[in-house]
């Protein structure tokens, strides 16, 4: 029996589109036991996830066994799901990372980064979610000539994340379809300037710069049409003391960075969604430094 615990992630942080990601202390747990058939239980119950042909964890587990060269006979999988699904908190990355690590651990194989990406990218081509889920912490990544390069960035202990979770799903697929194929040089420069400032202001603890540094022109202007009252959520969070706010991943969650007033910020973001008749809840989270954890 293996117990795999994988953290939620928040990709982008505004200007770091497809580049930056952070692991959060909210976890999905996957309990993996030997079986000759595929049996899946989810807590809370999500019938779609109990379908052996559709479950992402099982698909990745099968593919990884094939990659390793072992026949896949079945699995008894128990999922304890705490990461909201299709909300921009890396739920798919938890399943992909969990399954790859489970298969390598069960087969007593060492997982290299290259092997990890070879398998993981067949399911999700976004290192900004995959890497924090695997390694923990705050990570910047890029892919060049099919190779992934990444580096961990120290994250200031002073900051916490206030995440507002609206009561509607937004798949990454849908949120990518609204993006333009080309952007202007002006918008590209806008983001290069801000993502550089974002990293520097976090490392140097110049938190007053984050409000500007998290601004983005590559994805949020297009995606905010899918998030009712987006601007008001941002405004309320900043007025309640957040130092920066962005969409989390591809949405629908939004995430505020703050040193204090966490409850007020969370309530104010929920209120903005409630104004347009959308139920929402908030969570106050911290960075997860460890990434995926395995218990035998
Ligand atoms: N615990 C899980 N078990 C099996 N499949 C899952 C699980 N969690 C998520 N998935 C799969 O991942 C899909 C959601 O992935 P999607 O990339 O759209 O959103 P996300 O990962 O939550 O958000 P983002 O990528 O923006 O952070 C679900 O529809 C489901 O197919
Ligand atoms: N960087 C990705 C993360 C979602 O997987 C996006 O924003 O589409």
Return per-residue pLDDT of the chain as tens, 296 residues.
Answer: 999 999 999 999 999 999 999 999 999 999 999 999 999 999 999 999 999 999 999 999 999 999 999 989 999 999 999 999 999 999 999 999 999 999 999 999 999 999 999 999 999 999 999 999 999 999 999 999 999 999 999 999 999 999 999 999 999 999 999 999 999 999 999 999 999 999 999 999 999 999 999 999 999 999 999 999 999 999 999 999 999 999 999 999 999 999 999 999 999 999 999 999 999 999 999 999 999 999 98
Ligand nearest to the CA of 127: 2
Distance (angstroms) between ligand 2 centre and the Cα of 54 equals 21
pLDDT for 142:
97
Ligand nearest to the CA of 88: 1
Pocket test for ligand 1, best of 59, 91, 99 (most atoms within 8 A of CB): 91
Distance (angstroms) between ligand 2 centre and the Cα of 188 equals 17
- Is 92 annotated for ligand binding? yes
pLDDT for 16:
98
Q: Which atom of ligand 1 is nearest to the CA of 90?
A: 27
- Is 197 annotated for ligand binding? no
Element (H, E) at 104: helix 91-106
**Are the C-beta atoms of residues 141 and 148 closer than 8 Å to each other?**
yes
- Is 88 annotated for ligand binding? yes
How far apart are the C-alpha atoms of 79 and 41, rounded to whole Å?
6
Distance (angstroms) between ligand 1 centre and the Cα of 184 equals 31
How far apart are the C-alpha atoms of 101 and 116, rounded to whole Å?
9
CA-closest residue to ligand 2 atom 7:
250
CA-closest residue to ligand 1 atom 5:
56
pLDDT for 280:
98
pLDDT for 92:
97
Domain with CATH 3.30.70.890 in the chain: 160-285
273 touches ligand 1 (CB under 6 Å) = no
What is the number of other CB atoms lying within 10 angstroms of the CB of residue 202? 24
How far apart are the C-alpha atoms of 129 and 18, rounded to whole Å?
9
Q: What is the pLDDT of residues 163-205, one digit of tens each?
A: 999 999 999 999 999 999 999 999 999 999 999 999 999 999 9
Ligand nearest to the CA of 18: 2
- 33, β-bridge pairs: 76
pLDDT for 136:
98
**Are the C-beta atoms of residues 183 and 217 closer than 8 Å to each other?**
yes
pLDDT for 99:
98
pLDDT for 89:
98
How far apart are the C-alpha atoms of 148 and 197, rounded to whole Å?
23
How far apart are the C-alpha atoms of 62 and 279, rounded to whole Å?
37
Q: Is the ipTM of this complex over 0.85?
A: yes
What is the number of other CB atoms lying within 10 angstroms of the CB of residue 30? 26
pLDDT for 184:
98
92 touches ligand 1 (CB under 6 Å) = yes
pLDDT for 294:
97
Q: Which atom of ligand 1 is nearest to the CA of 81?
A: 1
3-class state of residue 150 by DSSP: strand
Q: Which CATH number fits domain 160-285: 3.30.420.40, 3.30.750.24, 3.40.50.300, 3.30.70.890?
A: 3.30.70.890
Topology of domain 2-153+288-295, CATH: Ribosomal Protein S5; domain 2 (3.30.230)
Q: What are phi and psi of 253, to 5 degrees?
A: -70, 155
Domain with CATH 3.30.230.10 in the chain: 2-153+288-295
């Amino acid at each position: 029996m293996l117990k795999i615990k994988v953290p939620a992630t928040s990709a982008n942080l505004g200007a770091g589109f497809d580049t930056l990601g952070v692991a959060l202390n909210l976890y999905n747990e996957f309990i993996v036991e030997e079986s000759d058939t595929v049996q899946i239980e989810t807590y809370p119950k999500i019938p779609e996830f109990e379908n052996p042909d559709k479950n992402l964890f099982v698909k990745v587990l099968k593919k990884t066994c094939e990659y390793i060269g072992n026949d896949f006979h079945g699995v008894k999988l128990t999922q304890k799901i705490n990461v909201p699904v299709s909300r921009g908190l890396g739920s798919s990355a938890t399943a992909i990372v969990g399954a790859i690590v489970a298969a390598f651990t069960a087969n007593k194989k060492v997982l290299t980064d290259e092997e990890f990406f070879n398998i993981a990218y067949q399911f999700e081509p976004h290192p900004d979610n995959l890497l924090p889920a695997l390694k923990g912490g705050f990570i910047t990544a890029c892919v060049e000539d099919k190779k992934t390069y990444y580096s961990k960035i120290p994250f200031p202990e002073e900051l916490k994340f206030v995440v507002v979770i609206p009561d509607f799903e937004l798949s990454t697929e849908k949120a990518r379809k609204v993006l333009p194929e080309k952007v202007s040089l002006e918008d590209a420069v806008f983001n290069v300037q801000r993502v550089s400032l974002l990293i520097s202001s976090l490392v140097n603890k110049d938190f007053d710069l984050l409000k500007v540094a998290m601004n983005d022109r590559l994805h949020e202007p297009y995606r905010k049409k899918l998030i009712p009252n987006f601007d008001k959520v941002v405004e309320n969070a900043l007025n309640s003391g957040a130092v920066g706010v962005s969409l989390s991943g591809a949405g629908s969650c939004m995430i505020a960075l703050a040193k204090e007033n966490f409850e007020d910020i969370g309530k104010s973001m929920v209120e903005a969604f409630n104004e347009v008749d959308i139920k929402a809840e908030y969570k106050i989270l911290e960075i997860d430094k460890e990434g995926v954890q395995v218990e035998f």
